């Protein structure tokens, strides 16, 4: 799974709009943090990276929406994303397909409920970024950014 170029730019902007860009680490710091999380070690506030946090939240949500099909690699189907599923493009496609209607498959029980006026991807990036901002404020990682 990999966030596509288009959605990565949207994620960066959402973090930047909330004044959190100074907390976005270098590639090296982000890798160390990822290793800490994978190994289940307690993570340090100093290595908290809002962009990586957003990345993990989006991937987690995509797995909730799509199940393990979020993890497949398909060079043909996802040719424009190095063969990987974008955790925003695919859920949005599924969401749009089921918005107030069935997709036509009689076995399918999915239905999408509009959450607001924004499409799925924008809505989810905004919601997740807001909770990241909240986290940063609670941990005093940002000085009272409004």
Nearest to residue 1, comparing CAs of 125, 118, 107, 84?
84
Helices first, then strands: H and E counts in the chain = 5, 0
Task: Name the one range near Zn ion by CB under 5 A: 17-25, 29-37, 40-48, 95-103.
Answer: 95-103
Taking the complex as a whole, how short is the minimal distance between the CB of residue 48 and Zn ion, in angstroms?
24
Q: Among residues 46, 72, 108, 145, which is the contact residue for Zn ion, using CB under 5 A?
A: 108
Q: Is 9 in the site for Zn ion (CB under 5 A)?
A: no
Q: Is 1 in the site for Zn ion (CB under 5 A)?
A: no
Q: What is the DSSP letter of 123?
A: H
Task: Name the one range near Zn ion by CB under 5 A: 10-18, 45-53, 72-80, 88-96.
Answer: 88-96
Sign of the Cα pseudo-torsion (77, 78, 84, 85, in order): negative
């Amino acid at each position: 799974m990999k966030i596509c170029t288009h959605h990565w730019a949207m994620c960066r902007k959402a973090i930047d709009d909330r004044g959190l860009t100074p907390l976005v680490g270098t590639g090296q710091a982000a890798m160390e943090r990822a290793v800490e999380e994978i190994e289940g070690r307690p993570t340090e506030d100093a290595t908290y990276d809002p962009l990586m946090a957003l990345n993990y939240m989006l991937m987690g949500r995509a797995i909730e929406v799509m199940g393990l099909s979020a993890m497949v690699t398909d060079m043909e189907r996802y040719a424009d994303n190095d063969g990987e599923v974008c955790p925003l493009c695919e859920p949005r496609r599924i969401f749009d397909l089921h918005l107030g209607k069935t997709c036509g498959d009689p076995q399918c029980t999915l239905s999408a409920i509009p959450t607001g006026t924004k499409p799925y991807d924008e809505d989810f990036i905004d919601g997740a970024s807001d909770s990241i901002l909240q986290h940063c404020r609670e941990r005093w990682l940002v000085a009272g950014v409004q």
